[in-house]
Amino acid sequence: MPRLLEKVVEYAGALGELKYRHTLIEEEIKQIEFTIRSGRSALSKKRKADRTTESAVVAVHREYRRSIQEHNNHLSRTRFLLQVEFEQIGRLKVEIQAQLGETIDLLKKTAYIREKTLNPYVQRRGRLQCSLPVSESSQ
């Protein structure tokens, strides 16, 4: 029974860590999406500004746009990987919750059986009943 309790604590700890990581990833995905959206709007503003600047500055802006595009590609890839990890953690949470539930049920059954064997009188439906076999000579 102590091993079952240790398993319950272990599963609960793992579940808590997964839930925490799940929320961290969710927040990181939101931040990346925001960065990508704001980067695209900044990129369109730079295109408008490019039309009114000198050619040397245009080259610098072109390089700047290229670096922003690379950064956006990197963020998109990171977002994709985080989304995959987010889904994996979600599946792991479900599996660990199921294992935790099964372990708790087993622990309850073990505790009930132990209580029943240690205490031959078990209260059922408001009255005490003896779970020990009654010999025919005593009746």
**What is the DSSP track for 62-115?**
HHHHHHHHHHHHHHHHHHHHHHHHHHHHHHHHHHHHHHHHHHHHHHHHHHHHHH
Q: Tens of pLDDT along 1-24?
A: 677 778 788 878 888 888 888 888
Residue 44's SS3 state is: helix
Instruction: Tell me the CATH architecture of domain 2-138.
Output: Orthogonal Bundle (1.10)
- pLDDT in the model for residue 46: 58
Model pTM? 0.49
Average pLDDT over residues 31-56: 66
Residue 129's SS3 state is: strand
Is 21 within 8 Å of 96 (Cβ atoms)? Answer: no
